[in-house]
Structure 1
């Protein structure tokens, strides 16, 4: 899904645009999905592709929704991020290149991964 910058600005709120298109970060412990415990899927705010599932969500204490794995449809891609004087692995939506957050190697077994995601980058789709 490729849209022009002006089309993204029209489609997204100011905060969604800042985080998803300009690689921003929401303040920790402020996202509306941080404490959500319901069963369902987490989809990309920009394009609606399924990215994470509720059974992989856990409380990491980091201040952002955390997941131990991406969904089985493999819609998350990885980029090297050397910003802020450190090297991290950025996660983006494979379908529309939306910035989601970062992934770290300090998550729970069996994956050992912690996908640290901005709430504003994802929406929740409750399972019926």
Structure 2
């Protein structure tokens, strides 16, 4: 049998890429496709309340999309992308998949939303110029 190693900050800290700094707070947004609508709603409420105590931002897949909208201060963006674009045949096409193609077309999603609903990148740039980090 293996040895049981308790999980403590002392055991984990040496494994981290950067040292732990008390007082820094991260916002982590998970992926999950259309389930990301929950995160989109939470971040919309954060924006309405002007709540942003975070120093680091981490997002994957739908979480990265929602986090981008949060950092650009665009309430409703994540919900609109999920409701208007991820429900369309151009994005999700089981028949295309059966014929040997991809089930979802992320390139179409990114191109379509960038053309019709561009993110306000200057808002995010000002946030990062203030010392915040996005991963």
TM-score normalised per structure 1: 0.27
Quick check: which one's helix share is greater?
A: 2
Quick check: which one's strand share is greater?
A: 1
Larger RCO (alpha carbons 8 Å, 6+ apart): 1
